[in-house]
Amino acid sequence: MSPLAALAAAWLARVAAGPKVRYCADGPPSRQSIFFANHQSHLDFVVIWSVLPPEMRARTRPVAAKEYWTASAIRTYLSVEVFRAVLVDRANPSLSALRGEMEVLLAALDAGDSLILFPEGTRGSGDRIAPFRGGLDFLARERPDVDLVPILLDNLERIMPKGEFLPVPQLSTVIFGAPLHRRQDESKPDFLARARQAVIDLEPGHP
């Protein structure tokens, strides 16, 4: 990893997205976590990453789509060298391939790293948060000790809408929720619904 480029990227993300950060009652995250957020733009993980405490930032890796983040030399450099992204291949939908991708994520967790992932799988359109895919459930079941931290992002889709490659600088919001864990008796759909609701509940004005 190149720390200088990483620092520059975090600084640029803050300039472009002016993130206003709100933490839950416990303050900024300090334990190994899986951060999961609603997906609005390609800036999302950089912005989350840029507002983490520096010692957390060094040990936090975004989970990103391989086909997008290795499509050009610059993207490959950014994802592999700067952000140390865990690249996931979504092109091959077979069960064995999926299993292989999950093993990569577990290995990253076992190395002590935190992860940033977007369980909607794709960038949503508008305000609605799409149903969560199963990966979060799998990780939560396999590594029950890791904190699952919900994050709500706002205004990033206006800063960098789909199909654009330069951001129009504006202010955004990053809200961290209280960590949650998967209950042992909880079914997969129940847990995924609860995790999604935890993100929705962070919207201002929600209970």
Q: How far is the CB of 206 from other proteins (least distance, A)?
A: 17
> How many C-beta atoms surround the C-beta of residue 32 within 10 A?
17
Instruction: Print the binding letters for residues 148-187 with other proteins: x by CB under 8 A, - otherwise.
Output: -------x--x--xx-x-x-xxxx----------------
Query: Which residue number, 79 or 172, has a Cβ lying nearer to other proteins?
Result: 172
Q: How far is the CB of 63 from other proteins (least distance, A)?
A: 27
Query: Which residue number, 18 or 134, has a Cβ lying nearer to other proteins?
Result: 18
Query: Which residue number, 101 or 157, has a Cβ lying nearer to other proteins?
Result: 157
Site for other proteins in 3-42 (CB under 8 A): 18, 20
Query: Which residue number, 22 or 183, has a Cβ lying nearer to other proteins?
Result: 22
> How many C-beta atoms surround the C-beta of residue 104 within 10 A?
13
> Site size for other proteins, by CB under 8 A?
12
Query: Which residue number, 93 or 163, has a Cβ lying nearer to other proteins?
Result: 163
DSSP letters of 51-91? HS-HHHHTTEEEEEEHHHHTSSHHHHIIIIIIS--EEE--S
Cα gap 152→156, rounded to integer Å: 11
Q: How far is the CB of 194 from other proteins (least distance, A)?
A: 31
Euclidean distance between the first and the last CA atom of the chain, given in angstroms as a whole number = 41
Instruction: Print the binding letters for residues 105-134 with other proteins: x by CB under 8 A, - otherwise.
Output: ------------------------------
Burial (CB < 10 A; 0-12, 13-18, 19+), residue 166, is exposed
The H or E element spanning position 33 is strand 33-37
At position 169, the amino acid (one-letter code) is P
The H or E element spanning position 22 is strand 19-22
Q: Which residues bind other proteins (CB under 8 A)?
A: 18, 20, 155, 158, 161-162, 164, 166, 168-171
